Amino acid sequence: MAHAASQSRPRSRRGPDWFWWAVTAAALLPFALLGVQAWTGSLGVDPVNTVYNLSGRAALVTLLLSLACTPLNTILGWRRALSVRKALGLIAFFYAVVHTANFVGWDYAFDLGLMLNDALLSKPYLLAGSLALGILGVLALTSTRSWMRRLGRSWKRLHRLVYGAGALAVLHFLWQAKVGERWEPLVYAGLLAALLALRLPALRRRLSPQQ
């Protein structure tokens, strides 16, 4: 408990500062863009596909940014990064929900039978995406202070699942990509692997500044 408190309390007690607001606003820009495009009817020839692409990429990028916060603190000593970690994670979940709502509502028009037979049960990439969404959902639900208290030490272990969600999201992207488009998910895979490596104690100790 003492450890968790020392990481998050002093800053959050002061409330969100300009940095928090700036990062949060920037992370929500893609959503604002979607809103503007939807409002002006400029989502393109295939709006469903536009929403898929934008929300999916936004989810992955914000998730990776959220994962970058801890190493930015431990290795570069930039404590401020920790103040936006939770917000970025929640925004990643938000984009995943937008992405899924597009799938369920707009693409499949709530045709659950078709969705199951046609997609969810037969396409590994959709299984990966669904699992990623499920994990992010659980993490979002337990992201509150009261859940942190309730779960105690296991909260941290539970929230390490975020790397699993990231890996599943990258797989989801990779498995649906065509030949010639696989470089992009592979870049995300590389970034995710690097971020995970930076969390390994051996590497972290070597890279951390002398305390």
Partner 1 sequence: MVKILPSEITPEHLFLNRRQFMAASGALAGALALSACAPGLGGEPASEIGALQPAVTAPLGPEKLPAALAYTEPTASSGQDELGDPLNTFQEITNYNNFYEFSTSKEAVASAAASFQSYPWQVAVTGLVNNPLTLDLDDLYARYTQQEHIFRLRCVEAWSMVIPWVGFPIAELLKEADPQSNAQYVQFVTVYRPEEMPGQRSNILEWPYQEGLRIDEAMNPLAILATGVYGKPLTNQQGAPVRLVVPWKYGFKSIKSVVSIVLTDTLPATTWNTAAPHEYGFYANVNPAVDHPRWSQASERRIGENGRRPTLPFNGYAEEVAALYAGMDLTRSF
Question: Exactly one of 10, 44, 77, 164 binds partner 1 (CB under 8 A); which one?
Answer: 44
117 binds partner 1, rule: CB under 8 A: yes
101 binds partner 1 (CB under 8 A): no
Q: What are the Cα distances from residue 74, in Å, to 17, 67, 118, 191?
A: 21, 12, 45, 17
Minimum CB–partner distance for residue 33 and partner 1 (Å) = 15
Q: Is 111 a binder of partner 1 (CB under 8 A)?
A: yes
Examine residue 181 and tell whether it contacts partner 1 (CB under 8 A): yes
Of 10, 19, 46, 164, the one binding partner 1 by CB under 8 A = 46
For position 123 contacting partner 1 by CB under 8 A, the verdict is: yes
**DSSP summary character for residue 78:** -
Indicate whether 187 belongs to the interface with partner 1 (CB under 8 A). Answer: no
In 17-163 the beta strands, taken as DSSP E runs, fall at none
Please report the DSSP string for 184-202 in residue order: HHHHHHHHHHHHHHHHSHH
Nearer to partner 1, 17 or 184 (CB): 184
Own/partner pairs, 16-22, CB within 8 angstroms, 24+ separation: 16/83, 17/83, 19/80, 19/83, 19/84, 20/83, 20/84, 20/87
Instruction: Determine, following the binding rule CB under 8 A, whether residue 19 of this chain makes contact with partner 1.
Output: no
Task: Please tell me whether residue 203 binds partner 1 under the rule CB under 8 A.
Answer: no
- For the bound state, the minimum distance from the C-beta of residue 181 to partner 1, rounded and expressed in Å, comes to 6
Instruction: Yes or no: say if 135 and 89 are a contact pair by the CB < 8 Å rule.
Output: no
191: amino acid identity, one letter: L
**Among residues 92 and 168, whose Cβ is nearest to partner 1?**
168
Q: Which of 37, 176, 196, 204 binds partner 1 (CB under 8 A)?
A: 176
Between 88 and 128, name the residue whose CB sits nearer to partner 1: 128
Buried b (16+ CB within 10 A) or exposed e, 102-122: bbeeeebeeeeeebeeebbee
Residues in the site for partner 1, rule: CB under 8 A? 44-46, 48-49, 106-109, 111, 114, 117-119, 122-125, 175-176, 178-181
